Structure 1
Amino acid sequence: MTITAPPRAGFTLDEGLLARIEERAEAADRAGAFFTEDFEELRDAGYYRAPVPVELGGPGLSLAELARWHRRIAYRSTATALASGMHLFWVGAAADRYRAGDESVAWILEAVRDGAIIAAGHSESGNDLGLGGSTTDAEPDGAGGYRFTGHKHFTSLSPVWTLLGVHGRDTSDPEAIVHGFIRRDDPGVVVKDNWDTFALRATRSDDTVLDGAHSPAEKILAVVGPGRPGSDYLGSVGAWALVLTSNVYLALGQRALDIAVASAAGRASAKLGGEPRLADPFIQAVLADAVIELDGIEAHVDAAAARWTDNPVGDAAWGRRLQSAKFHATTGAKRVVDLSLQVVGGRALHHGSVIERLYRDVAAGQFHNPTPDTVRRTLGSPEALDRANFDR
């Protein structure tokens, strides 16, 4: 397992910054407070504009490059990395499309370069279709824009976002799903202070209520649905989101394993006559299972990041690979944490222990879209299993 990243001209995160993120994680989790200091330091270091192309004033990191840095942050604080990724996937996808010659996304990159923070407003009660459906109304304004009315959950970065990516069902064409951006200062936007969970507490993923919030024509990303062309930008958003999220859970699993190894090495075993518990064959077998799981996840998500970076074009094979990588990372990380708990023992139950926080945070992996039921339904379908959709 590698929790490192090669330096790139014009961009770096120093070890002191990473150490401070780690030091602050427990207090933010215990208080359920937003990671304000982490955010400010990462912003000042240029992390939130890392994918912006060099010619537009950013460092120009690719998905594969950014994923390595993201992993290092997540190793220190799951919440900081996960919430930050909810901004970065919008930026990275825009950079992909810009490099492909799509000038319509340049405004997104320029806004981020100038300090905009983007969040995702997609989760809704009563919508089990993900981006393919919505309980939010999108009412045409007659000039190419839309007004959105609905209730969005899990809006990470709630204290700091300035732009919110939302989707809703077109009230004039119920088969069409509209995607656009709205501004935080729109009078139709209300951010609810209601994030009080047992996991990912510092993400501050408060609800957002929309009441006619306006996305003008130039901020509409796509209108998709049956008989309509797909959106390359939204496809790229999915790739960046799934790869970055997968790396968060990979890093979480590695942190749990490292804690387990340190615990076993530092505790004497009466059964072994005072030798470290790390010498116990049972402990070694448990740790070996965790290593094998993490090595498989790492290979999976690294391959996904590298191959998308080399050829950022979505197709059926890519949809399968990205969904399976996210499923593998989130479910595998949970298994690693469970194995690590066997090694650490009862002391892991105490509030304030890092592994106790990891145990809570890893439980959230199943709720990030696509959820396990969606992945199984999609990847087990005849269309997904068609040999023509495999490229190996």
Structure 2
Amino acid sequence: MTAFDPDVILTDALIERIRSRAAAVDADNVFPEQDLAELRDAGYLRVLVPEDRGGLGLSLADVSRLQQRLAEASPATALAINMHLVWTGVAKVMRDRGIDDLRFVQEGAAAGEVFAFGISEAGNDLVLFGSDTEATPHDDGSYSFTGTKIFTSLAPVWTQLGLHGLDTASPDGPRMVYAFVGRDERVVTRDDWDTLGMRGTQSRTTELHGAVAPADRVVRRVPPGRNPDPIVFGIFSVFEILLGSVYTGVARRALDLAAASAQARRSKRTGRAYAQDPDIRWRIAEMALAYDALPPQLAALARDVDEGADHGARWFSLLSGVKHRATATAKRVVDEAMLVAGGSSFFASNELSRLYRDVLAGAFHPSDPESAHSTVASAWLGPIEP
């Protein structure tokens, strides 16, 4: 069996076209429609869909590498597509464990549908374990959802929105309800995405005014709070690994740009390239040492998810840890790259300037630094005593 080569799907030519559009997408604050069209043509929306359902049948470890490569070209495009890949990844994780509740996600992705991720809510630090969105049950098994979701990436283009809400009306309630709704007049997308970075994701606010998920799109009802349900594990594992992959790609691109700058710039004092300066060499080495630790960690954890490894209660600390390390390391690497490149990197037209703004978004994704540290502390020390 030959090793997977990400260059086969994300060819050099495709990557360069996406990179060539990234600055304008950022400056104009628009969704990268051309990127999505080319990625769809390349089969990218169905990379995690099994071959027997019209997909490419790749593993989570394979797609982690793809997302790193895509993020090197355009972090915002990679982050936007990430949210579609999360749902197809969750469908794969669950099916691999004998649960086929998200078959329609795999078949939809193979047919060209775009799935968005509607989980985040303002002020809701419970994330997967609670929701301020009201999930109202109906006699036919459907649910209607009323509430507001934030950071809804792919806002202009999604066809199905995967979300959660809290059902307090059912006799067995409360229950967290995971379901999918389509676009209609009960779903309002605000045009409010005017941010510092990651502008191409167009992660706008979504208002739900009784948006209905048909019975066959209500995929899971689980108790609120921490629990080992497969959909919770699936979302958490795929989200954290692919998110870490995007920011690892940002770090790699910043490192490449810094090295190229050090080779190209020359010191007036010595007449030599900055690549010969001991301080610059040390700084580049520090960046590389930090970056080099990330891809193997992502590969190992993704492979464990693919192969069904049992880390038990440690899973959540391992997953939140790799996301935290990836985003924090990427920020440090970009900071250092700016210093290596010098004052020119401070101009908005410089790619490093955009990477500097984009990488800041990493701290705002779940698990945020506080949550990651709390999870890891509990794994090693036990919960805080009441």
Give the Cα separation in 1 of the matches to 2:312 and 2:157: 34
Q: What residue in structure 2 maps to residue 390 of structure 1?
A: none
Which ranges in structure 2 are unaligned for 5 or more consecutive residues?
Answer: none
Displacement after TM superposition at 1:228 (Å)? 9.9
Say whether residues 1:168 and 2:169 are aligned partners. no
Percent identity over paired residues = 40
Say whether residues 1:385 and 2:380 are aligned partners. yes
Q: What residue in structure 1 maps to residue 217 of structure 2?
A: 219
What is the TM-score normalised by the length of structure 2? 0.93
Q: Secondary structure at the match of 2:102?
A: helix
Displacement after TM superposition at 1:176 (Å)? 2.3
Number of corresponding residues: 378
Displacement after TM superposition at 1:141 (Å)? 1.4
User: How do 1:1-392 residues align onto structure 2 when only pairs under 5 Å count?
Assistant: 6-7=4-5, 12-172=9-169, 175-185=174-184, 187-225=185-223, 230-271=228-269, 273-311=270-308, 315-381=312-378, 384-385=379-380
What is the TM-score normalised by the length of structure 1? 0.92
Give the Cα separation in 1 of the matches to 2:57 and 2:267: 51
Q: Secondary structure at the match of 2:149?
A: strand
The answer to whether the 8 A contact 2:128-2:232 is kept is no
Give the Cα separation in 2 of the matches to 1:301 and 1:346: 33
The answer to whether the 8 A contact 1:96-1:312 is kept is no
The answer to whether the 8 A contact 1:235-1:314 is kept is no
Displacement after TM superposition at 1:67 (Å)? 1.2
The answer to whether the 8 A contact 1:180-1:215 is kept is yes
Q: Could you tell which deviates more after superposition, 140-149 or 160-169?
A: 140-149
Give the Cα separation in 2 of the matches to 1:125 and 1:58: 35
The answer to whether the 8 A contact 1:126-1:135 is kept is no
Q: Secondary structure at the match of 1:159?
A: coil
Displacement after TM superposition at 1:206 (Å)? 1.0
Q: Secondary structure at the match of 2:293?
A: helix
Q: Secondary structure at the match of 2:117?
A: strand
Displacement after TM superposition at 1:333 (Å)? 0.5
Displacement after TM superposition at 1:59 (Å)? 0.7
Give the Cα separation in 1 of the matches to 2:34 and 2:123: 35
Q: Secondary structure at the match of 1:160?
A: coil
Give the 3 Å change call, closer, same or farther, for CA 138–378 of structure 1 in structure 2.
same
Q: Secondary structure at the match of 1:181?
A: strand
Paired amino acid for 1:206: R
Give the Cα separation in 2 of the matches to 1:232 and 1:40: 32
Displacement after TM superposition at 1:369 (Å)? 0.8
Q: What RMSD over aligned residues (CA atoms) do the two structures have, in Å? A: 2.0
The answer to whether the 8 A contact 1:236-1:312 is kept is no
Displacement after TM superposition at 1:44 (Å)? 1.1
Q: Secondary structure at the match of 2:146?
A: strand
Displacement after TM superposition at 1:193 (Å)? 1.2
Give the Cα separation in 1 of the matches to 2:349 and 2:369: 30
Give the Cα separation in 2 of the matches to 1:159 and 1:255: 27
Q: Secondary structure at the match of 2:162?
A: strand
